[in-house]
Amino acid sequence: MNTATAGPLQLANIRVIDLSRMAPGGFCTMMLGDLGADVIRVEEPGGGRIGRARMGRSDEPDEREERRRAAFTALNRNKRSIILNLKAPQARDVLTRLCEDADVFVEGFRPGVVERLGCDYETLSALNPRLVYCSISGYGQDGPYKSLVGHDINYISTGGALGMIGSEGGPPTIPYNLVADYAGGAMQAAIGILSALMARNYTGRGQHVDISMSDGVAYMLVASLSEYFNTGAVPQRGLMSLNGGVPYYNVFECKDGKYLSLGCIEPWFWDALCRAIGREEFIDQQFEPDKYPEIFDAFRKIFKTRTRDEWWDYLRGSGDVAVGRVFSVDELADDPQLRHRGMVQEVGEIDGVTVRQVGIGPKLSETPGSVRRLGPHMGEHTDEILAELGYAAAEIASARETGAFG
C-alpha cells in the first residue's frame, strides 16, 4: 500500500457510491477520491458483460496478474470494491443501505436502466434527501437522443469537436477518447458534484446532476460557437488559426522523425522565432495568409535540419519562443517538469514491484490530494463493507452462496 502522507483532505467526510462502469464515471470518482472522498465502487460479478467478453478471449485469468493490473489501474485508486449482483433482492438491499448515509451517487447507464435496478434519483433521494445523485450519459436524461448508444467518438461528433479536428481536405482526426469521456464527461461531472455539495451546505438538500457528454463537448466549444453566433463563420478543418491553418501555431517534423510544436501567436513570440531560425523576412508576414505557403515550405525544410531535441534546446534558449516537444507517453513519463510537479508518482508496490501512476492535477496549498490506496482487485472489500453495514459473517457467507455477493 501507499505510504504517502498529506494534510487534511477537503472531502474526507464525503462518501461516494460509484455504480459507473466506464472511464467517465471512473475518472470522476478517482478525482473525488484523490481529494479525500471515501469511494465505494459497486461492481458486477465477473466484471459484467465487458469483463466476461474479455475473459472469453483469453486464457484463465492469473490471480497474481489480476492483482498487479488492479494496483496499476489509477482510475480505481483510493477506492474500495464491493461485488453486488443487483439482480438479487438482497444485493439491492445492500445498495440501498449504502445510499442511506452516502453523500454522492454516480451512475453511467443509459436513461431508464437505473429505474429497473431500483436505484434511480427519485427512489434514492426519497430515502436520503441530502444525496447528490450524478448521472453521466452520452446525450443526457432527456431529449430525442437520450436512448442512443455511443462512445466518445459519437459524442464529439454530435458535440461539434470532431468536425474541427484534422488536416485540410482530409477526414476528421480522432483525438483518442479524451474530449468527451474525460473532459466533457468526467470533469464536468466532478465540477457538478462539487457545486451540488456546496449548494447542499445552504439548502440542506442534494440534487440530480445530469451530465451529457455531448453537452460537455459543446460547452467547451464556447469560443468557436461565440464566433459563429456573431459572424456566421464555421470552423474548417486545418484552416483555422488553432487547428493547423497557420505556420505560427502548428507542428513540424524534425530530422529524427519526431515533432516540434510552435505556439507563437503573439507577435513578439513570432519575432523571436523568425530571428532564431534566420528568417527575419517572415516577421511582418505573420498575418498574411497569401504568404503562408512560402512560410510553411521554408519551415518544413528548416526543421528537418536538426533533431527535435536539438531544436528544443536551441529555441528555448533563444528568447521568448513558444515551443514544445511532441511527446510519446514514455517520454512524458520521464519529463523533468512533469516529474517535478508530481505528475508521475511512485505510489506503492505490488509483489515487490514499484507502482507508478499519474499524479494529481489540482495543486492545493493547504489540503492537497493524495494517493492513499492502490486500486483494489474486484470485490476486495466486499466483506469489510458488508460488516460496516452490520451484516454478520454467517449472513454474508449465506448470501454469497446464492450469488448475491461476490
**pLDDT surpasses 50 at 2:** no
The single residue of 151, 309, 320, 383 carrying the catalytic annotation is 151
Give the model's confidence band at 374: pLDDT under 50 very low, under 70 low, under 90 confident, else very high. very high
pLDDT of residue 240: 94
User: Mean pLDDT across the stretch 166-191?
Assistant: 96
**pLDDT surpasses 90 at 52:** no
* Cβ–Cβ under 8 Å, residues 305 and 260: no
What does the pLDDT look like over 292-317, one tens digit per residue?
999 999 999 999 999 999 999 999 99
Least confident piece of the model among 9-13, 80-84, 198-202, 238-242: 9-13
- DSSP-derived pairing of the beta strands 104-107 and 132-137: parallel
**pLDDT surpasses 90 at 196:** yes
> Cα–Cα distance between 255 and 257 in angstroms, integer?
6
What does the pLDDT look like over 229-258, one tens digit per residue?
999 999 999 999 999 999 999 999 999 999
The single residue of 34, 120, 152, 181 carrying the catalytic annotation is 181
**pLDDT surpasses 50 at 6:** no
Q: Average pLDDT of the chain?
A: 93
pLDDT of residue 58: 53
* Cβ–Cβ under 8 Å, residues 17 and 63: no
Task: State how far Cα 387 lies from the chain centre.
Answer: 32
**pLDDT surpasses 60 at 96:** yes
User: Mean pLDDT across the stretch 88-97?
Assistant: 95
Task: State how far Cα 155 lies from the chain centre.
Answer: 15
Give the model's confidence band at 63: pLDDT under 50 very low, under 70 low, under 90 confident, else very high. confident
Task: State how far Cα 114 lies from the chain centre.
Answer: 23
pLDDT of residue 62: 80
**Domains of the chain, CATH where assigned:** 15-220+345-401 (3.40.50.10540), 249-333 (3.30.1540.10)
What does the pLDDT look like over 133-145, one tens digit per residue?
999 999 999 999 9
**pLDDT surpasses 70 at 56:** no
Give the model's confidence band at 340: pLDDT under 50 very low, under 70 low, under 90 confident, else very high. very high
Indicate if 340 belongs to the active site.
Answer: no
Indicate if 181 belongs to the active site.
Answer: yes
**pLDDT surpasses 50 at 4:** no
What does the pLDDT look like over 97-120, one tens digit per residue?
999 999 999 999 999 999 999 999
Give the model's confidence band at 46: pLDDT under 50 very low, under 70 low, under 90 confident, else very high. confident
pLDDT of residue 10: 80
Percent of the chain with pLDDT strictly greater than 90? 91
User: Mean pLDDT across the stretch 257-270?
Assistant: 98
Measured from the Cβ of residue 64, the count of other Cβ atoms closer than 10 Å reads 10
Give the model's confidence band at 344: pLDDT under 50 very low, under 70 low, under 90 confident, else very high. very high
What global pTM score does this model have? 0.93
pLDDT of residue 7: 46
**pLDDT surpasses 50 at 371:** yes
**pLDDT surpasses 50 at 54:** no
**pLDDT surpasses 70 at 3:** no
- DSSP-derived pairing of the beta strands 259-263 and 132-137: unpaired
* Cβ–Cβ under 8 Å, residues 247 and 185: no
> Cα–Cα distance between 307 and 238 in angstroms, integer?
25
pLDDT of residue 55: 45
* Cβ–Cβ under 8 Å, residues 90 and 404: yes
What secondary structure does DSSP assign to 320-338, as a single string? S--EEE---HHHHHT-HHH
